[in-house]
Amino acid sequence: MFSSDLMALCADQTIPLWDGTYKIPWHDPDFSARMLEYHLTDATELASRNRQLIAEQCDWILSQLPEKCSILDLGCGPGLYAGPLTESGQVESYLGIDLGPASIRHAQSTHTQPNMQFVQGDVVEVEFPDAVDAITMIYGEFNVFSPDDVRRLLEKAHDALVPGGLLALEVQSADAVRQLADTAVSWSRESSGLFHDGPHLSLIENQWFAEQNAARQSFHIIKPDGTVSTYHNTTAAWSFEALSSLLRAAGFEHVQRQNSWPSGNPNLEMITAIAAAA
């Protein structure tokens, strides 16, 4: 049975959606180390695509870019896109930014070429380089930022891109986010998992917040001693029209859905935009 504290926690819809607890703890060293294992395996696509699909996506990105170019990869994880993007020589400069310390350490130790750099930090806060030809954010990471941070991120991206530069955002569709909120509560017993190294019970609940047009997924981790740790992951549902409006407000033009993008996941779609001259 639930403890009274856990019951109250599960029923609480007053927890602010976009405060400091709205994301799972990407920055935590232990969490980041466990997440890295998911990034590096092809057995699951919880964190990253399989290597074949990553190669196809990199080919698609390169087909959109000039013969010699630079790329800023936001939410780069352990650098799985860095090699395929740079090996042909078309990309002369690659910079990846990610919040996970284990992922960045792996990327830095794996890719030591002088034209590749990796920085740990929040993409909303880290300073971007100037005159970049393309900025990418893959695998739906865009949706987990608050509306205010989305606006800041898009303004920073526009300022970093050369006029005519490409912004490529793989976003979760609005329908997919809404369906996430409708997923039933689930229990599982784990010997170890993403949120805890040892045995525990995991309760996952999903809620929809219509006024904010967002879903919140809550992970309640119950340890053998009875302590409960709760983590939230909040996901905004951006319609194409709303996202287009945000992009235009930040200085972008030619906003397009890219149906040729090799997503491999019907819940994700590629949206591109071009940086207009200031």
Q: How far apart are CA 229 and CA 49, in angstroms?
A: 29
Domain annotation covers residue 16: no
Domain annotation covers residue 21: no
Domain annotation covers residue 19: no
Total domain count, the chain:
2
Same domain? 95 vs 159: yes
Same domain? 247 vs 111: yes
- Whether the per-residue pLDDT at 9 is higher than 70: the answer is no
Domain annotation covers residue 262: yes
Residues 6+ apart with CB under 8 A from 7: none
Same domain? 226 vs 180: yes
What are the phi and psi torsion angles at 218 (to 5°)? -115, 130
Q: Domain range spanning residue 49?
A: 29-173+238-275
Residue 129 tokens read as 């380089």
Same domain? 60 vs 137: yes
Q: What is the pLDDT of residue 7?
A: 47
Mean pLDDT, rounded, for 10-35? 82
Domain annotation covers residue 61: yes
Q: What is the pLDDT of residue 5?
A: 54
Same domain? 56 vs 100: yes
| Percent of the chain residues topping a pLDDT of 90 | 84
Same domain? 216 vs 253: no
Q: Which residues pair with 269 in a beta bridge?
A: 171
The pLDDT confidence band at residue 39, using thresholds 50, 70 and 90, is confident
Same domain? 221 vs 90: no
- Whether the per-residue pLDDT at 47 is higher than 80: the answer is no
Neighbours of 273 (CB within 10 A): 27
Q: Structure pTM? A: 0.92
Residue whose pair of structure tokens reads 């709205």 in the numeric block: 22
Same domain? 247 vs 222: no
pLDDT tens per residue, range 96-119: 999 999 999 999 999 999 999 999
- Whether the per-residue pLDDT at 52 is higher than 60: the answer is yes
Residues 6+ apart with CB under 8 A from 143: 171, 172, 177, 235, 236, 237, 238
The pLDDT confidence band at residue 1, using thresholds 50, 70 and 90, is very low
Q: What is the CATH number of the domain that holds 95?
A: 3.40.50.150
- Whether the per-residue pLDDT at 6 is higher than 90: the answer is no
Domain annotation covers residue 17: no
Same domain? 73 vs 145: yes
